[in-house]
């Protein structure tokens, strides 16, 4: 066997892996990056980027269909799914080529192939061993399903849904989390009859209850059906459709069943447990500095229990590179990672939910909700929604939750407010351009600081 050594060997070329590779190279470390598929991982090729392209196409469809309300005469003649896919794939391909160029520019050694951890310093790919002073595990995640529910035919996961060459007439979406509501939103905009089935009591159950209620209200207006607090029991498919049975005894017939019940850690088959990496429920166990139980072995991204977000893995990858290089970066506060669900309307949040804040700080937590009905730009966009702030007792703002079209673009300011531990009085004097949706954040903080202006009631 040949032998190749580097300061850092990375197994997995997704957001966490390539971020670590680029940052480590910038800091003068030699890097070997191993990826069995395409550089960029799930986020670029089968997740964040292509789904958001579909969501933008869906927004265009809605704008054409509803153009009369803006005084514009337009005709919506339907969705050319081949054209949508061409648009989507073009974006992915351009970004992929850009990443390939950056890999070369940083001097990172890229190895294509399936890697296996042989010991705490070595990853083997097709008979070649790559040895690192440090090893980073970043193998990402996979779409989960439920026991007895096999994917195939008319039962698909998000990966298959992204490559479909038709718009189904009738869809059941199993799972009301981020992936489920985003695809439900796309298909509804494209003209499908959609029903979401969620076992927990509300849609986007990981978000503050306020956000769930706002989204459910909007989905009702859009005629997107949903059944919450009810469990799936079985699915049977024929050549013409699929029949979904629920614990309530109800049966839903559709052309397609999308299984969107979350993602699991892609840790099996890579030698982790064989080498002795500590694991819990399939996730690699790390400390706050992303170190595993094996000296010199780190893990980032979806294989580490917590938020399964590309930008979380990206930030963790940078952290590990800087930690290895001796820069001693500050550990990442998980609650300070912004979260966005890109359905119509969008849901965005950072920090604690009201329940989490009350558990941490007690009953004296203060909340304030600002309705977007008072925001000029939101009225121009014809979006409804609200901004909810959560303040610790006599302390900083510890949670910000937003619902409405394009509020994902507001999360940048929101995460600064949370991460810099700002008090309402710190934010209230800041001047927000008019008319913008960012004024909603300003107005909400004005109100919490004791000087409400565009607030009714």
Buried b or exposed e, range 280-309, using 16+ CB within 10 angstroms: eeebbebeeebbbebeebbbbbbbbeeebb
Burial tier of 340 (Cβ tally within 10 Å: 0-12, 13-18, 19+): buried
The response to whether 296 counts as a known ligand-binding position is: no
Residues near 172 by beta carbon (within 8 Å), at least 6 away in sequence? 194, 195, 196, 197, 242, 244, 252, 254, 256, 257, 258
| Tokens, residue 150 | 């096999």
The response to whether 176 counts as a known ligand-binding position is: yes
The response to whether 277 counts as a known ligand-binding position is: no
The response to whether 175 counts as a known ligand-binding position is: yes
User: Residue written as tokens 């980032």?
Assistant: 300
Catalytic residue of the set 434, 445, 454, 456: 434
pLDDT at 2: 53
The response to whether 179 counts as a known ligand-binding position is: yes
CB 169 within 8 A of CB 195: no
The response to whether 376 counts as a known ligand-binding position is: no
The response to whether 223 counts as a known ligand-binding position is: no
User: Is the Cα dihedral 353, 357, 363, 364 positive or negative?
Assistant: negative
Residue 90: count of CB within 10 angstroms of its CB? 11
The response to whether 177 counts as a known ligand-binding position is: yes
| Tokens, residue 32 | 């070997």
pLDDT at 1: 44
**Secondary structure (DSSP) of 8-40:** EEEE--SHHHHHHHHHHHHTT--EEEEESS-TT
Give 388's strand partners: 369, 401
Alpha carbons 218 and 224: distance in angstroms, whole number: 9
**434 in catalytic set:** yes
Instruction: Note if the pTM is more than 0.85.
Output: yes
Alpha carbons 111 and 125: distance in angstroms, whole number: 8
What values do phi and psi take at 357, rounded to 5?
-65, -40
Q: What domains are defined for the chain?
A: 3-143+264-334 (3.50.50.60), 155-261 (3.50.50.60), 345-449 (3.30.390.30)
Among candidates 347, 149, 144, which has minimal Cα distance to 260? 144
The response to whether 124 counts as a known ligand-binding position is: no
pLDDT at 391: 98
Tell me the angle at which helices 81-105 and 15-26 cross, rounded to the nearest 10 degrees.
30
The response to whether 181 counts as a known ligand-binding position is: yes
| Tokens, residue 166 | 């038709």
Among candidates 245, 233, 271, 10, which has minimal Cα distance to 118? 271
The response to whether 115 counts as a known ligand-binding position is: yes
pLDDT, tens digit only, all 457 positions of the chain: 455 899 999 999 999 999 999 999 999 999 999 999 999 999 999 999 999 999 999 999 999 999 999 999 999 999 999 999 999 999 999 999 999 999 999 999 999 999 999 999 999 999 999 999 999 999 999 999 998 899 999 999 999 999 999 999 999 999 999 999 999 999 999 999 999 999 999 999 999 999 999 999 999 999 999 999 999 999 999 888 999 999 999 999 999 999 999 999 999 999 999 999 999 999 999 999 999 999 999 999 999 999 999 999 999 999 999 999 999 999 999 999 999 999 999 999 999 999 999 999 999 999 999 999 999 999 999 999 999 999 999 999 999 999 999 999 999 999 999 999 999 999 999 999 999 999 999 999 999 999 888 776 5
What values do phi and psi take at 381, rounded to 5?
-75, -10
pLDDT at 148: 87
DSSP helix/strand/coil, 398: strand
**Secondary structure (DSSP) of 409-439:** GGHHHHHHHHHTT--HHHHTTS---TT-THH
pLDDT at 456: 64
- β-pairing, 128-137 vs 3-11, is parallel
Kind and range of the H or E element at 115?
strand 115-119
First to last CA, the chain: 75
Alpha carbons 378 and 407: distance in angstroms, whole number: 10
Alpha carbons 444 and 158: distance in angstroms, whole number: 36
CB 322 within 8 A of CB 315: no
The response to whether 97 counts as a known ligand-binding position is: no
């Amino acid at each position: 066997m040949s032998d190749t050594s580097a300061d850092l060997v990375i197994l997995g070329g997704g957001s966490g892996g390539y971020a670590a590779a680029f940052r480590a190279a910038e800091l003068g470390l030699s890097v070997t990056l191993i990826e069995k598929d395409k550089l960029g991982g799930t986020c670029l090729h089968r997740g964040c980027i292509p789904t958001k392209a579909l969501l933008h196409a869906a927004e265009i469809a809605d704008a054409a269909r509803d153009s009369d309300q803006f005084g514009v005469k337009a005709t919506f003649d339907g969705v050319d799914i081949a054209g949508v896919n061409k648009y989507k794939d073009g974006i992915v391909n351009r970004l992929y080529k850009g990443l390939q160029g950056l890999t070369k520019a940083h001097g990172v050694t890229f190895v294509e192939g399936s890697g296996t951890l042989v010991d705490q310093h070595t990853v083997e790919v097709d008979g070649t061993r790559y040895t690192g002073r440090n090893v980073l595990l970043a193998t990402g995640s996979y779409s989960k399903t439920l026991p007895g529910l096999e994917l195939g035919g008319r039962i698909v996961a998000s990966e298959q849904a992204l490559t479909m060459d038709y718009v189904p007439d009738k869809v059941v979406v199993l799972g009301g989390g981020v992936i489920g509501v985003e695809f439900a939103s796309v298909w509804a905009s494209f003209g499908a009859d959609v029903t979401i089935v969620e076992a927990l009591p509300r849609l986007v159950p990981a978000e503050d209850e306020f956000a769930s209620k706002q989204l459910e209200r909007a989905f009702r207006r859009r005629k997107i059906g949903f059944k919450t607090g009810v469990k799936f029991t079985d699915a049977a498919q024929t050549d013409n459709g699929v029949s979904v049975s629920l614990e309530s005894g109800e049966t839903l017939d559709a052309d397609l069943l999308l299984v969107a019940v979350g993602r699991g850690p892609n840790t099996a088959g890579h030698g982790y447990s064989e080498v002795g990496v500590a694991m819990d429920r399939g996730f690699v166990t790390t400390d706050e500095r992303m170190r595993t139980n094996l000296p010199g072995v780190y893990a980032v991204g979806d294989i580490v229990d917590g938020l399964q977000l590309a930008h979380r893995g990206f930030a963790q990858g940078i952290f590990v590179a800087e930690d290895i290089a001796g820069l001693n970066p500050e550990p990442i506060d998980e609650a300070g990672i912004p979260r966005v669900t890109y359905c119509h309307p969008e849901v965005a949040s950072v920090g604690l939910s009201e329940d989490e804040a009350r558990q941490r700080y007690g009953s004296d937590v203060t909340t304030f909700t600002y309705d977007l009905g008072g925001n000029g730009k939101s009225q121009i966009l014809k979006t409804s929604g609200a901004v909810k702030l959560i303040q610790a007792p006599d302390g900083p703002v510890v949670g910000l939750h937003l619902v409405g079209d394009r509020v994902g673009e507001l999360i940048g300011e929101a995460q600064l407010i949370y991460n810099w531990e700002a008090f309402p009085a710190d934010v209230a004097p800041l001047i927000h351009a008019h008319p913008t949706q960012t004024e909603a954040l300003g107005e909400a903080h004005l109100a919490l600081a004791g000087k409400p202006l565009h607030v009714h009631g």
